[in-house]
Amino acid sequence: MSDPRTLVWGPLVRLFHWLLVVAFFTAYLTEAEEAGSLHVQAGYLVLGLVVFRILWGFVGSQHARFSDFVYSPAARRGRCGHFQLDFAPTR
C-alpha cells in the first residue's frame, strides 16, 4: 500500500525549519555571558538560517520559492473578495 501523503517541502526547507526551532529556543533559554557563549552562537545560527532561507526562496526548488506562495495583489483580491465587508450605514 502506498503512502497517500504528498510532501511539498524539500529536505532543505524541513531541515531549515527544525534547525531554526532548535537555535531559537537555545538562544531564548540561555544567557549571554560572553561573546562566544552558546546564546550568541545560537543567535548567529538563527541569522545564518534566515539569510539562507531568503536566498533559497529565490533559487530553491519549485515549492521553496517565494513566487510559489506569494500572490499578486490582483490575485489576492480575487481570492479574498468574498471576505469584504460592507460598512455602509444602515437606516
**DSSP label of 85:** -
* Chain centre to alpha carbon of residue 47: 13
For 3, the 3-state DSSP assignment is coil
How many whole angstroms separate alpha carbon 61 and alpha carbon 30?
35
* Grid cell locating 43: 543567535
How many whole angstroms separate alpha carbon 48 and alpha carbon 43?
9
Domain residue extents for the chain: 11-82
Percent of the chain with pLDDT over 70: 79
pTM: 0.68
pLDDT tens readout for residues 42-85:
999 999 999 999 999 899 888 888 887 777 777 777 776 666 56
How many whole angstroms separate alpha carbon 54 and alpha carbon 33?
30
